[in-house]
Amino acid sequence: MKKITFLIAALIATCFSGNEVSAATGKIIDIQMGTGSAYTYGAAIDPNPSMATQTWNRFQAPGQRTYTALKYSDNTLSSVSVTENMPTTGSWATYPATAFTNARDVKLMEGALSTGVTQTGSYSFSGLTAGTYNMYIYSQGKYNVSSGVHLTATTTGHSYSVNFSNNGDLTQLTQANPGDSYVGNWVMQTIVVGSNGLLNLNVQSNSLINGIQLQQDLTPVPEPGTVVLLGVGGVFMLALVKLRTKESSEANV
C-alpha cells in the first residue's frame, strides 16, 4: 500500500510541475483615430506612464481602405490587417478634448472618426491570434455631434455590445461602467477571437471614436499533456479510495 501511495503522489507532483503556456503573448495593438497630434502613451493600460514610448497606428482619414501589417505598441510588425468603412465626412482634428487638464492624454482625445445621425460604419480585423483579448474603446463625445460610441463587436460564435457616452466635458480619462450608467470616455470589453482570427466592429449611427486598443490576455492554460496527466491522476486517486474502503471493510469483518 505504501508503494501505491508513493507512486500516486509522484504522479500528482508530475502533473502540477508540468510547464504552463500563455493563451497569448500579451502584445498590444494601439489605434489612434483622426488627424490630431500623434499620441505615444498607453492610455488606460499604460504599463509605464512616465515614458512616451508606445507606437500607435494612425487611422486619420474616413472612407473605405485597408490598413495592413499593423504595428504592435513596441513598434514590431504584426500580421493584423484592418479594413475601415467609415463615412467620408467624419474626421476630426482638435475636436472634443479642449476640456482636458492632462496634456499627456489630450492628444489621443483630440482626434476622432465618427458616423452621422443616419450613417453607420465598420472596422474588420483579420490575422489576430486566436484567444482572449481586452478591447479598449475611447470616445470623447460632445453635444450636437455625437454622444459617445455604440458598437457591436462580433467574432465567430460571439457578439458583444459596447455602448457608453459623455458630453465632451470630461477633463481626464474616465472609465465607463454600469455603476455610473456607462458615462465616461473609455470602456473595456473582454472578447474571444476564434481560430479564423477575425473581429468585426459594427459602428452604429451617431458615434465618435478616438481610439481602440486590443490587448491579448495572459491567462495561463495547461499544456494538453498536463491535462492528460491530471486525468490519469484522478483515476488513480479514485482507485486508491476504493481500495482503502475495501480493506477497511475486510478488516472489520
How do residues 161-191 score in pLDDT, each as one tens digit? 999 988 888 888 999 987 777 899 999 999 9
Residues 104 and 167 in one domain: yes
How many other C-beta atoms are found inside a 10 Å radius of the C-beta of residue 117?
8
DSSP secondary structure code for residue 167 in this structure: -
Does residue 124 share a domain with residue 7?
no
Which tens digits make up the pLDDT trace of 22-71? 444 589 999 999 888 899 999 999 867 667 789 999 999 889 999 999 99
Q: Which residue, among 31, 21, 14, has the nearest Cα to 209 in the 3D structure?
A: 31
Number of domains in the chain: 2
Shared-domain flag, residues 28 and 153: yes
Q: Is residue 216 located within the same domain as residue 228?
A: no
Question: Would you state the pLDDT for residue 227?
Answer: 44
Structure confidence at residue 6 (pLDDT): 46
pTM recorded for the entire structure? 0.76
Q: Residue 14: what pLDDT?
A: 46
Whether residues 58 and 100 fall in one domain? yes
Give phi and psi for 13, each to the nearest 5.
-60, -40
Give the CB-side neighbour count of residue 74, counting CA atoms within 13 A. Answer: 8
**What phi and psi, each to the nearest 5 degrees, are found at residue 31?**
-130, 125
Both 78 and 132 in one domain: the answer is yes
Q: Residues 73-127: pLDDT tens digits?
A: 999 999 999 999 998 876 665 565 667 877 788 889 888 888 888 889 999 999 9
14 shares its domain with 75: no
**Which residue range forms the structural domain that includes residue 247?**
2-19+223-251
Nearest to residue 233, comparing CAs of 19, 2, 9, 3?
Answer: 9
**Highest mean predicted confidence (pLDDT) among 101-110, 192-201, 233-242:** 192-201
Query: What is the enclosing helix (H) or strand (E) of 32?
Result: strand 28-33
**DSSP state, residue 45:** G
Do residues 131 and 232 both lie within one domain? no
Same domain? For 121 and 72 the reply is yes
Neighbours of 75 (CB within 10 A): 9
Are 174 and 239 members of one domain? Answer: no
**Residues 54 and 152 placed together within one structural domain of the fold:** yes
Kindly state whether residues 227 and 189 are assigned to the same domain: no
